Amino acid sequence: MGQIKLLQGNEACSEGALYAGCNFFAGYPITPSTEVAEYLARRLPLIGGAFLQMEDEIAAMAAVIGGALAGCKTLTATSGPGFSLKQENMGFAMLTEVPCVIVNVMRGGPSTGVPTGPGQSDIMQCKWGTHGDHPVICLTPAYVQEIFTETVRAFNLSEKYRTPVIIAFDEIVGHMRERIEIPDKGVLPVVDRTKPTCPPSEYLPYDDSKGDVPAMANFFEGYRYHVTGLNHGTDGFPVNASPRIHTDELRLMRKVEANKAEIIKYEEYLLADAEVAVFAYGVSGRSAKTAVEQARAEGIKAGLFRPLTIWPFPEQEVAALSARVRGIVVPELSLGQIIFEVDRCAKGRCKIEGIYRVDGDPITPAQILAKVKEVK
Amino acid sequence: MAFNYDQYIRGGKLPHIWCPGCTYGIVFKSILRVIDSMKLNRDDIAMVSGIGCASRLPGYVDFNTLHTTHGRALAFATGLKMAKPDKHVMVVSGDGDATAIGGNHFIHACRRNIDITVMVFNNFIYGMTGGQYSPTTPSGHLATTMPYGNVDPSFNIPELAKGAGASFVARGTAYHAAGLDRLIIEAIQHKGLSVVEIINACPTTHGRRNKFKSPTDMLLWMKDTFLPVAAFDKLPAEKTAGKFPMGVLYRKEGMPEYCETYYGMAERVRKQKEGRA
Ligand SMILES: Cc1ncc(C[n+]2csc(CCOP(=O)(O)OP(=O)(O)O)c2C)c(N)n1
Ligand code: SF4
Ligand SMILES: [Mg+2]
């Protein structure tokens, strides 16, 4: 039957993590993400899990990778400045293929910015924050229930593809309370990493001969191997100036690229006959839904495309949409970031209009409705 | 019979990257002798490092090895240890790695007194990047980024560790290799955070620029400079200038160890909760 609860988005995130089997959290307090840590500080000891408040976000990200290598399902949560600090070690987890989940409850920025206000201006940082080419999966839930289910999905994708997964939502949905249903165990799938079946002497931690996601041995289980942030061979040891670096980097990207059909998730609302579309995620997606309903009430054929996966970007879907509608309105709590992705995929097939706001308040349905009318 | 180091060295991973005359090889051998003499199960050992010449060590040894980001080894190690408190987690770090970029993690690991053995290879310089000054470069020494002599005051690593709460602090040198074995054994046996500062020589980027004619000169400097702590303590104050104690410099048994305290707390609250239910 599940359990009905009234939870904040941040708490639902913690519940989702526990549902997915998370038994290790490391973090550093920062508004507006702190409740994720506080909730897990109460819950993890009760299940014998590890909770660590580290000395900073760099350490928290490192600890989460260490915990994951020892076989735990690990989570860290942060916001703006802390997300910046995590970047180097996030790149380490991407290259070394260590599954873990990073929550970024987005606030206004840059710098200390608006700690208590919502933002969507880290969305390109989610993709490009760490240096070098790297695969990124980033999920963008907009409702408390969705934060729960997407957190479960984040862990599953992370374990399945051996890569860190980011969940990015904003202060408003992080702090908003809504009714949610926590399903019984077994209702939602829970995925665990694939472990090697070969004897340790034959184990290659980055073996790419049987597919793009190598089996992962946990530390201390008899498979003694090497993990390094240097580019490495199939045996995990550093390689320099080798064609292997090129092919392995391509494989890392392919883990995400070739599995977009599974990873990409979105909601289409009243889009079938729409002449104007709104492309919006997170809290802006919620306003957009209302705006679309208001437009429909006025006889305007508007619809909503709301990505739950923002990275990899739903390129094909946006391209197809741009061919069917007169225009796409892109409201975002930034001065224009994700609009460039929409524009890149639309390739001039329709009008693209942004609505930008960074004053600490959300974009209202009225703002979106007005823009929809302009575009129509 | 000569000690068989090969049994712990990963096949095909030698030669190592260290320069001729670098003392890291001496310490490397000491660590392998120690692990062998303690009969530790190699599946139960994680060796974690940051970035630098010293931090390349884990790549050569047949344990669970983790070569992380510059300065962050202790934070990764803390994650491993919290996940598996019954395993041996050891950290190998350079002076820059441990006390400059990783200084914050270093003091906080000491404060937590988590059961990790930290070996800081102090060669008084950033070796890997070619000889820039580190937080332990002696005053007046030349470094590529102190071409007129170092004006940056330096850390005393054992004092730093002790002040931050480490419950076992020792100093050894690459010259006094036999003594070093004993210090590392004690450090691993100690329950809690143990720091062993290991004095090393980087002839390539430090010695060469600082009037050490050869790597041997640097070892002889260690011989003259570091005295067993008992001998050092007997020196009259006016004779201690330029000398440093080595050996176990500080040890406090019975200090609460972090994982034990955390999981003890977890157990207690779980039982309380079950009792109430
Ligand atoms: C974040 C970051 N900053 C700088 C570097 C460059 N770097 C690599 S090793 C090193 C210094 C290492 O010195 P130390 O820790 O003393 O080790 P040693 O090489 O002397 O053994 C530096 C600055 C890096 N790899 N990462
Ligand atoms: S540069 Fe210095 S520390 Fe690095 S290997 Fe050479 S001698 Fe050793
Ligand atoms: Mg050094």
Q: Is the pTM of this model over 0.95?
A: yes
How far is ligand 1, taken at its centre, from the CA of residue B251, in Å?
30
Q: For A239-267, what is the mean pLDDT?
A: 96
| Mutation probe of ligand 2 site: the residue of B51, B60, B129, B205 with most atoms within 8 A of C-beta | B205
CATH number at residue B248: 3.40.50.970
pLDDT at B267: 98
b/e burial code for range B191-211 (CB count within 10 A of at least 16 → b): bbbbbbbbbbbbbbbbbbbbe
pLDDT for res A376: 87
Confidence of residue A241 (pLDDT cuts 50, 70, 90): confident
Would you state the structure tokens that stand for residue A204, as one six-digit string? Answer: 């290659």
Query: pLDDT tens digit string along A6-30?
Result: 999 999 999 999 999 999 999 999 9
pLDDT at B63: 98
Q: How far is the CA of B206 from the centre of ligand 3 (A)?
A: 9
Cα A141 to Cα A75: distance, rounded to the nearest angstrom = 17
What is the predicted pLDDT for the residue at A1?
77
Cβ < 5 A residues, ion ligand 3: B 94-95, 123, 127
Write a three-state SS string for chain B: CCCCHHHHECCCCCCCCCCCCCCHHHHHHHHHHHHHHCCCCHHHEEEEECCCCHHHHHHHECCEEEECCCCCHHHHHHHHHHHCCCCEEEEEEEHHHHHHHCHHHHHHHHHHCCCEEEEEEECCCECCCCCECCCCCCCCCCECCECCCCCCCCCCHHHHHHHHCCCEEEEEECCCHHHHHHHHHHHHHCCCCEEEEEECCCHHHHHHHHCCCCHHHHHHHHHHHEEEHHHHHHCCHHHCCCCEEEEEEEECCCCCCHHHHHHHHHHHHHHHHHHHC
Tell me the count of A-B CB pairs closer than 8 A: 137
Gap from CA of A147 to ligand 1 centroid (Å): 40
pLDDT in tens, chain B (277 residues): 799 999 999 988 999 999 999 999 999 999 999 999 999 999 999 999 999 999 999 999 999 999 999 999 999 999 999 999 999 999 999 999 999 999 999 999 999 999 999 999 999 999 999 999 999 999 999 999 999 999 999 999 999 999 999 999 999 999 999 999 999 999 999 999 999 999 999 999 999 999 999 999 999 999 999 999 999 999 999 999 999 999 999 999 999 999 999 999 999 999 999 988 7
Distance of residue B33 Cα from the nearest chain A Cα, in angstroms:
19
Cβ under 8 Å to B: A residues 10-49: 24, 26, 44-46, 48-49
Q: Convert the pLDDT of each residue in A144-194 to its tens digit.
A: 999 999 999 999 999 999 999 999 999 999 999 999 999 999 999 999 999
Q: Is the CB of B208 under 6 A from ligand 2?
A: no
- Mean pLDDT, range A359-374, rounded to an integer: 97
Q: Which of the residues A40, A55, A76 would you substitute to probe the B interface, choosing the one with the greatest number of B C-beta atoms within 10 Å?
A: A55
Domains contained in chain B, number:
1
B228, B246 contact by CB (below 8 A): yes
Residue A225 has a pLDDT of 98
Distance CA A120, CA A338 (A): 9
Q: What is the ipTM of this complex?
A: 0.98
Q: Which residues constitute the domain of residue B151?
A: 5-276
Cα separation, A366 vs A295, in Å, equals: 10
- Residue A94: pLDDT band with limits 50, 70, 90: very high
Q: Which domains, from first to last, does chain A contain?
A: 3-182 (3.40.50.970), 265-375 (3.40.50.920)
pLDDT value of residue B152: 98
Q: Which ligand is nearest to the CA of B94?
A: 1
